[in-house]
Amino acid sequence: MDHVKFTAMKDGDKQDYDFLTEHEVAYTKGTADRLLTALETLDEGLSGYQVTRLGHSLQSATRAWRDGADTDWVVCALLHDIGDIFAPYNHDEYAASILKPFVREQCTWVVEKHGDFQLIYYGAHVGADPHKRDAYRDHIYFDDCAAFCERWDQTSFDPVYDTLPLDHFRQMVRQVFARTPYDPNVIQPGMRVSLLDANTASERIT
């Protein structure tokens, strides 16, 4: 059997759907590498900054790594703008939906909302509300998103920063996307993990 028998989903039988499930599960194992390839295309994306979008993503992840952040934070810093390719008007939500099954709820929320939080830096210059993030002031992850933007996002447009290459992060991305989707031991609703770990950071000085 190399394809299903049906041409309308309602006509499929268990054999068809067992076949599709096997193929779909196998396909998901390539998600990390497809994302890494997509990330590389950010090098050809939006121009005007002093670094490419890929350079910005790598610099964000490098800063997270050097702050001693855990794998969830580093991978989210790397992929937080992956939506710029296909969803320029809601790139934050797009990236969050990709990450949601595989990282802590805290990290997913921060990626989803980082666009609103970033407005604090430039909203007044483009006719947007720089205080849009205040709508989330009482949220458990508000301070985490503010710190994410301040330390890793808004500052990562520096062409002379010593940014680590994509190869440094490949295995972390593969590790995250090899997890069981929506594993409660990974998602951990309500759990907060600091963005910074001084001891780990001191071990990572390069």
Our CA angle for 89, 95, 101, nearest 5°, is 145
* pLDDT value, residue 206: 59
| Cβ(82)–Cβ(98) below 8 Å | yes
* pLDDT value, residue 152: 98
Q: CATH: 1.10.238.10, 3.30.450.20, 1.10.3210.10, 3.40.50.12280. Which one for 12-196?
A: 1.10.3210.10
Residue segments in the chain with a per-residue pLDDT below the cut of 70:
45-46, 206
Q: Could you give the 3-state DSSP secondary structure of residue 43?
A: helix
Our CA angle for 152, 157, 158, nearest 5°, is 105
| Cβ(177)–Cβ(31) below 8 Å | yes
Report CA torsion sign: 169, 111, 148, 124: positive
* pLDDT value, residue 46: 64
Helix (H) or strand (E) holding 17, with range, is: helix 14-28
* 166 secondary structure, DSSP code: G
Name the residue type at position 33.
Answer: D
Q: Which of 121, 206, 194, 182 is nearest to 156 (CA)?
A: 121
* pLDDT value, residue 26: 86
**Rounded distance between C-alpha atoms, residue 197 and residue 163, angstroms:** 19
| Cβ(32)–Cβ(176) below 8 Å | yes
* pLDDT value, residue 191: 98
Report CA torsion sign: 161, 60, 78, 197: positive
